[in-house]
Amino acid sequence: MKIKFRPVIFASLLVFSLIFFGSYSFAQKAPGEVKKFTWYLNTAEPGTVGYAALSAMADLATRTYPRYLEILPTSVGGATTTVKVWDRGQGHSCYNTLQHLWQVSVGAGPFDPQKYKFKRPNEFWQVLWAYPLIYFGIVSAKDADKIKNFKDFAGKKVFPTPPGYGSHEVFLAFFGPKGLNIRQTMELKTMSVAAAADNLKLGVMDVVWAYCDPGALVKWAKDTDVRVGVAVVPPTPEELEKGLKAGPWLIPYEVDPASLFESPLAKKAKPFRTVSMPFGIAAGKDISDEHVYYFVKAVFDKKAELGKIMATYVDFAKRGLEWNVEVFKIQSKPPISAPIHPGVALYLKEKGYDPQAHGILVGKR
């Protein structure tokens, strides 16, 4: 007697086999036991948002996987300095920005080949994005009716923050020839950020280029808010669209002034979208895929705990992984074309994000 398999039964068996063996195959590749690794994480100076934020992540990952990781924050200076120190072989990772990935890729700014020869361009791999810094103007409350949007900066005395600050670079690009192209009409003021409050109050400048992370104003801007009484100045949607064309490292982000300001006018302003720049951690081949996997797994799986530790992570606690995937897509496109660390790819696959399907580049060993 011949036994005939019906097509529907055969198809069901085939689907079951693909699911079972596909899952088994991935399980075989998932990291298991690894030798404990001491990770020196280059970061900014103590007292800065960068130092506190990365230290919180380092502590969380070390507490979560003490058998595999010991992550030690190492203060070496600002973000650009941490990248150069890592590039010279000191430390296992660096505190970087999306702008740094672009600068290394195209040879611009501090990474212009005529000024600095970058030694490790083929392993400048992003581990994660911790938070964005978000930029806007603040003015004295008495000038709120005269300076309402970014175009109103034209012809005004503006404090763009000091050279060397990431905020200064964002300002120059956004208001420069490839952006709104009104920078040349402004009278730019140079001073310490500590002097911003007094000088805005005295009328030395009309506009302060300020910033926050998702949970709080930077300390000196908060001081200006409390001591002077300010109004917040957002871009119009059209201004934002035009200004973002200044560089692929500038991305839009929504901010709610009510949770940031004490000044009545600023506090009652409606949420708005403005320009931002992501800050995070990059590393190379000297950290194994497995150790990076355990680091990002701890951070993303326990993102709610990060949100309780530090206000900076209030948005990360809600959608940290989703936001990272969005930025990974942006950094993977030309002219940046920067990959993520292969260890991050392991975690993304575990969470249902296929890097290739999402257009995310992955570093190759």
pLDDT digits 0-9 by tens, 78-115 = 899 999 999 999 999 999 999 999 999 999 999 999 99
What mean pLDDT comes out for the span 20-45? 73
CATH of 132-277, one of 2.60.40.1180, 3.40.190.10, 3.40.50.1950, 3.30.110.30: 3.40.190.10
Residues 196-225: tens digit of each pLDDT: 999 999 999 999 999 999 999 999 999 999
Per CATH, 34-131+278-350 and 132-277 having the same topology is answered yes
Q: What is the pLDDT of residue 29?
A: 60
- Residue 7 — very low, low, confident or very high, per pLDDT cuts 50/70/90? very low
Q: What is the pLDDT of residue 19?
A: 43
C-alpha distances in Å from residue 99, one per residue of 19, 117, 253, 259: 41, 17, 16, 27
* pLDDT-above-70 percentage for the chain: 92
What mean pLDDT comes out for the span 16-42? 67
Which amino acid would we find at residue 93?
A: S
Instruction: Return the minimum-mean-pLDDT range out of 27-36, 168-177, 221-230.
Output: 27-36
Q: Is 120 exposed, middle or buried (0-12, 13-18, 19+ CB in 10 A)?
A: middle
In this predicted structure, the answer to whether residue 22 has a pLDDT above a threshold of 50 is: no
Residues 253-267: tens digit of each pLDDT: 999 999 999 999 999
Q: What is the pLDDT of residue 63?
A: 98
Cβ atoms within 10 Å, residue 269: 20
For 34-131+278-350, CATH gives 3.40.190.10
What mean pLDDT comes out for the span 147-174? 95
**Do 250 and 275 touch, CB atoms closer than 8 A?**
yes
Q: Is 2 exposed, middle or buried (0-12, 13-18, 19+ CB in 10 A)?
A: exposed
Residues 124-135: tens digit of each pLDDT: 999 999 999 999
- Name the residue ranges covered by the structural domains of the chain: 34-131+278-350, 132-277
- Residue 24 — very low, low, confident or very high, per pLDDT cuts 50/70/90? very low
